[in-house]
Amino acid sequence: MEMPSFAIIGGILLNVGAFLTYKGRIFQAVWVYLLADLCWVAMAWQRGDMWGILSIAVGIVFGVLAFLKMQRGDMEKSLNPEERGA
């Protein structure tokens, strides 16, 4: 049996991350999403797709920044302006 590709592993991790998000486990979901990103970087590297690597890397940076912002408690709890006091 052939080993699954990085695309398949990344897709499975994306589904796991979505499930964790659905369950409200956002911090764990972000870690899983970042692992999926690493799989896609490896896939792009195998294909020699440097633009792909660059765009995925930008997404990883934003993901890490969002994670750090959530950890510090700087994220808004609601998208509804009435609940935010805005």
Q: What is the pLDDT of residues 19-62, one digit of tens each?
A: 999 998 888 898 899 899 999 999 999 999 999 999 999 988 98
Instruction: Tally the domains of the chain.
Output: 1
Q: Please report whether residue 77 resides in a domain.
A: no
Q: Is residue 81 a part of any domain in this protein?
A: no
Task: Give the length of the chain.
Answer: 86
The residue range of the domain holding 23 is 6-72
Residue 83 counted as domain residue:
no
pLDDT at 49: 92
Classify each residue of 19-54 as buried b or exposed e, where b means 16 or more C-beta atoms within 10 Å of its C-beta.
ebeeeeeeeebbebbbebbebbbbbbeeeeeeeebe
